[in-house]
Amino acid sequence: MGVLLAAATGLERPFPPLAGEAPTPERAALGRLLFFDPVLSEDGSLSCAHCHQPERAFTDGLATARGRGGAPLARNTPTLFNVGTKPRLMWDRRAGSLEEQARIPLLGADEMAADPGRLVARLAALPEYRERFARAFPGATPLSFANVTRALAAFERTLVSRRSRYDRFAAGEREALSAEERSGLALFRSLNTRCFECHRLPTFDAPLALGVGVPSPDPGVGGASGEPAQRGLFGVPTLRNVALTAPYMHDGSLPTLAAVVDFYRRGGGRALGVAGDRIDGQVRAFSISDAEAAALVAFLSALSDESAGPAVPERVPSRLPIHRRATAP
Amino acid sequence: MRTMLLGSLCALLAWPAAAENLRVRSGESIAAALELAEPGSVIEVEPGVYHEALVVDTPNVTLRGIVRGPERPVLDGRGTLNDGVIASGSPFTMTGFAVRHYKGNGVSTQGVDGVFLTDLVIDDTGLYGVYPVQSKNISVTHCTVTRIRDAAIYVGESQGALVAMNYVHHNVAGIEIENTNDAEVRDNLTQDNTAGILVFVLPGKVLKEGKRSRVHRNWVVGNNTPNFGDPESIVGSLPHGIGILLMGADDTLVENNQVRENASLGIAITRLAEEHAKKDPPLEPMTDGARIVSNHLDVNGTAPHPGITKGYGGGGDFGWDGTGKGNCADLADGARTVGAPIGACADTPPTTSAAPHAMHGAETDAMPMAPPPDLTGAAAVVRIRGMRFEPRHVSVKPGQTVVWVNDDNVVHTVTSGAGTLPSHAPLSSPFLTRGQAFRHTFAEDGRYEYLCLPHLDQAAMRGATVTVAK
């Protein structure tokens, strides 16, 4: 019946379909255990959830992530909500699938530093994983490094966030947003601010590499592609749950949403001496009142999902502690 | 407001009923009426000044400005509000408003299927006048758009658009078709902008192509206004004096336009600059498959912008940078071409007879003559000649027909409006070229004042009347 009804408002838009292999319940359940299990790291110290913490919309509250032994990593940890719809992953968009992406932290020397052979052996030594891989990947060799990445990707594809107060408003519940938040939504869609042109409905991101001019030596997409013209470009991050994912930008250099709004208000990197050819034409200084800036932040806060995220497992098959490092508030 | 409340009550009692019409009077709030709108609602707005920014998320809403002679509702942002109208509901219809003095934009539709914007008079609304983006099945007609610091009418990342019968002047860009497929741009008058009509692609967009647009029967005249756009924006680097520009869009047909007195280039074909294209490798930056046929090009390129001189070796009626595949142009013998030599279009006869006709110069018999105008049943005939309506005032009886005939060598319109303010109703002729006629049968008594859109700055081309009385 639902499909026969017209959209309640023009804001109600279909989500893009999941990219890649459709998750099965067995693979997603296995992927959830792997995601939280430090057994994936060579020294048993790090799980995916170490940086991608569910209570922070799968980020870590740090400017840039910390890897093995606290090693500083280059970039801010992105949320994992709705990653299943993204055609390319990572700030520099170098991964073309979640499976490909999973290899990066798994194998990274400063991150989990896993050796594929030894990792598979560790998992094979644990009966619960043997059993779960066999059910999730029936066939000759259920337990393989590739299938570890497939299970993780299957779990990540279940991390869907489309139940915010904004979504209720889009579905026609006018009271779901306050007057201030509605005014912020109008500003978001204004040609004065132009937020909506890159943070597109309904995912609030875009499959694009763009430059906004955060001052940084990081070459971003240009570093991954080798194309000098792409230096300083980064993938457009989603704004869903953005109130939970401070600090912001690829380097975590902006501590609050108010600081982000202020950054764009002054023309992004143009005001900070970054060359104009690194900055998208739609990023330009705009004039809004402080009350309007506050309304914009209020609206962004209405993009937080109201439903509970995935359950954190009580225990993982390795019996290693589910690591929750204390991080900045 | 009483009308609205009563309307809501009726809707409750008679549910399910067709959505009601909501009436907004001067001094009331259009936004308040939009709160009550349901799919199918028509919001009728009386003449008056409304200091509001409107958001239309309900599907299938019509904003109908009531136009009474020179009076119409005015959305006035007073330089403090951001956008006149933002619409997301599909379809969306808006007619009969003036929109002015917004910081961001006049009317924008975002992700709308079915956009009908007509008879809007838009002035000084920031970046764009009319901006359908990520939309499809768009119609923008009979709008007058002025003093916009980017594009007066900008169709971005969209599918299927008709942009017709608009008068856009004194903007940076007149009409822009960007990363959009299947746009038809016809019968517009773009005059005194920095550039008249641009069909192009930009990097950093989800839709990475712009194909199959058709630009025809437009008047593209004297687009020589110095660029007053943001110098850091892409449009801010647009050289003045460009009539029609194709940049990276493919399979565009440019046909039968009157392109004259643009000081840099009448029609230009170029690629998207490499430094832009390299940012977005899937984007194909060349202009391919352009066909330039049967255009009337005259007195273009006489004082080219230095950037054009540098890129093309000088100004002219037509310039090509030599890039792209399958581009062709049929140019009259006298046309001044600059840049790379371009081949004639294979399957069309050369337009040797299409010698240009000067705006103020001697008439030439080379201009294709329209068939004799149809004057049958006319109770009065008004000739438009020598930049005046003759006679200036006519009287007819109800039910009778007046026919206007353009005898001038420049384009004119017959457009309702008082003083210099067009109202577009009931008289709203197309752009009339020499020999073309427009007729209207008047049903009701009244005094109908009209003007000529492109020449309303000239006293003899406004204030003409038709008096209808028994």
Which of B69, B70, B155 is closest to B107 using CA atoms?
B155
* A291: contact with B, CB 8 A cutoff: no
Class of domain A165-301: mainly alpha
Quick one: pLDDT at residue B108?
98
Quick one: pLDDT at residue B348?
54
Quick one: pLDDT at residue B432?
82
Q: Say whether A165-301 and A25-157 share the same fold.
A: yes
Q: How far apart are the CA of B264 and the nearest CA of chain A, in angstroms?
A: 25
Confidence of residue A311 (pLDDT cuts 50, 70, 90): confident
C-beta atoms of A191 and B131 within 8 A: yes
pLDDT, one tens digit per residue, over A74-108 is 999 999 999 999 999 999 999 999 999 999 999 99
pLDDT score of A32 more than 80: yes
Q: Which residues have CB under 8 Å from A14's CB, separation 6+?
A: A202
Q: CA-CA distance, B182 to B162, in Å (whole number)?
A: 9
* A209: contact with B, CB 8 A cutoff: yes
pTM, 2 dp: 0.86
Query: CA nearest A207 in B: which residue?
Result: B206
C-beta atoms of A280 and B112 within 8 A: no
Quick one: pLDDT at residue B304?
97
Question: In the structure encoding, which two tokens stand for residue A251, read together?
Answer: 């380097």
Quick one: pLDDT at residue B411?
78
Q: CA-CA distance, A295 to A65, in Å (whole number)?
A: 30
Q: How far apart are the CA of A322 and the nearest CA of chain B, in angstroms?
A: 40
If interface means Cβ-Cβ distance under 8 Å, which residues of chain B face chain A? 35, 39, 53, 55-59, 82-83, 86-90, 92, 103-105, 108, 110-112, 126-128, 131, 133-134, 202, 204-206, 230, 232-234, 275, 278-281
* B233 chain-A contacts, CB cut-off 8 A: 281, 284
* A271: contact with B, CB 8 A cutoff: no
- For B237-296, what is the HEC assignment? HCCCCEEEEEEECECCEEECCEEECCCCEEEEEECCCHHHHCCCCCCCCCCCCCEEECCE
Would you tell me the crossing angle of helices A179-188 and A290-301 to the nearest 10 degrees?
A: 100
| Nearest-5° Cα angle at A100, A22 to A310 | 50
Quick one: pLDDT at residue B232?
79
C-beta atoms of A9 and B110 within 8 A: no
State which fold the B378-468 domain adopts.
Immunoglobulin-like (2.60.40)
Which of B181, B198, B207, B200 is closest to B282 using CA atoms?
B207
C-beta atoms of A287 and B103 within 8 A: yes
Q: CA-CA distance, A257 to A261, in Å (whole number)?
A: 6
Q: How far apart are the CA of B27 and the nearest CA of chain A, in angstroms?
A: 22
C-beta atoms of A209 and B279 within 8 A: yes
Residue A126 bridge partners (DSSP): none
Q: CA-CA distance, A297 to A184, in Å (whole number)?
A: 7
C-beta atoms of A200 and B134 within 8 A: yes
* B173 chain-A contacts, CB cut-off 8 A: none
Query: CA nearest A7 in B: which residue?
Result: B59
Q: Which residues have CB under 8 Å from A13's CB, separation 6+?
A: A7, A170, A201, A202, B111
Asked whether A9 and B58 are in contact (CB, 8 A), the reply is yes
Which of A257, A253, A287 is closest to A272 using CA atoms?
A253
CATH superfamily of this structure's domain A25-157: Cytochrome c-like domain (1.10.760.10)
Query: CA nearest B85 in A: which residue?
Result: A190
* A233: contact with B, CB 8 A cutoff: yes
What is the identity of the amino acid at B334? G
Q: How far apart are the CA of A69 and the nearest CA of chain B, in angstroms?
A: 37
* A210: contact with B, CB 8 A cutoff: yes
* A192: contact with B, CB 8 A cutoff: yes
Question: In the structure encoding, which two tokens stand for residue A67, read together?
Answer: 């890897």
Q: Mutate which of A167, A181, A189 to test chain B, going by most B C-beta atoms within 10 A? A: A189
pLDDT, one tens digit per residue, over B344-374 is 998 754 443 333 333 333 333 333 456 788 8
Q: Which residues have CB under 8 Å from A179's CB, separation 6+?
A: none
**10-residue stretch averages of pLDDT, chain B, 470 residues long:** 43 50 96 95 97 97 91 96 97 96 97 94 96 96 95 97 94 98 95 98 95 95 96 88 98 96 98 94 96 96 96 96 97 93 78 34 40 88 95 96 91 85 81 87 95 83 94
Sequence spans of domains, chain A: 25-157, 165-301
Omega within 30 of 0 (cis) for the link into B426: yes
Quick one: pLDDT at residue B370?
60
* A171 chain-B contacts, CB cut-off 8 A: none
What does the pLDDT average to over A274-294?
A: 94
Of B69 and A322, the structure prediction assigns the larger pLDDT to: A322
Residue window 13-42, chain A: list those with CB within 8 Å of chain B: 13
* B86 chain-A contacts, CB cut-off 8 A: 186, 189-190
C-beta atoms of B58 and A9 within 8 A: yes
Q: How far apart are the CA of A63 and the nearest CA of chain B, in angstroms?
A: 27
Sheet of B401-406, strands arranged across: B388-390, B378-385, B401-406, B437-441
Nearest CB to B204; choose among A7, A191, A208: A208
C-beta atoms of A6 and B86 within 8 A: no
C-alpha dihedral, B308 to B295 to B329 to B226, nearest 10°: 10
Rama region for A149: left / alpha / beta (φ>0; ψ in -120 to 50; rest): alpha
Nearest CB to A191; choose among B105, B204, B281: B105
Of B419 and A120, the structure prediction assigns the larger pLDDT to: A120
Which of A74, A85, A121, A107 is closest to A234 using CA atoms?
A74
Interface size, chain A vs chain B, as Cβ–Cβ contacts under 8 Å? 106
* A277: contact with B, CB 8 A cutoff: yes
Q: Mutate which of A190, A197, A225, A278 to test chain B, going by most B C-beta atoms within 10 A? A: A190
Quick one: pLDDT at residue B408?
87
What does the pLDDT average to over A14-41?
A: 95
Burial (CB count <10 Å: 0-12, 13-18, 19+), residue A89:
buried
* A276 chain-B contacts, CB cut-off 8 A: 232
Strand ranges (DSSP E) for chain A?
A: 206-210, 234-236
Which of B373, B399, B365 is closest to B468 using CA atoms?
B399
Q: CA-CA distance, B33 to A187, in Å (whole number)?
A: 20
* B114 chain-A contacts, CB cut-off 8 A: none
State ipTM: 0.93
Q: CA-CA distance, B183 to B176, in Å (whole number)?
A: 10
Which of B109, B120, B93, B118 is closest to B39 using CA atoms?
B93
Query: CA nearest A280 in B: which residue?
Result: B204
Burial (CB count <10 Å: 0-12, 13-18, 19+), residue A246:
buried
Quickly count: other Cβ atoms within 10 Å of residue B69's Cβ: 17
* A283: contact with B, CB 8 A cutoff: no
Which of A208, A207, A209 is closest to A219 using CA atoms?
A209
pLDDT above 90 as % of chain B: 77
Which of B37, B39, B38, B24 is closest to B73 using CA atoms?
B24
Q: Mutate which of A191, A266, A283 to test chain B, going by most B C-beta atoms within 10 A? A: A191
Q: CA-CA distance, A34 to A321, in Å (whole number)?
A: 13
Question: In the structure encoding, which two tokens stand for residue A302, read together?
Answer: 């209405």
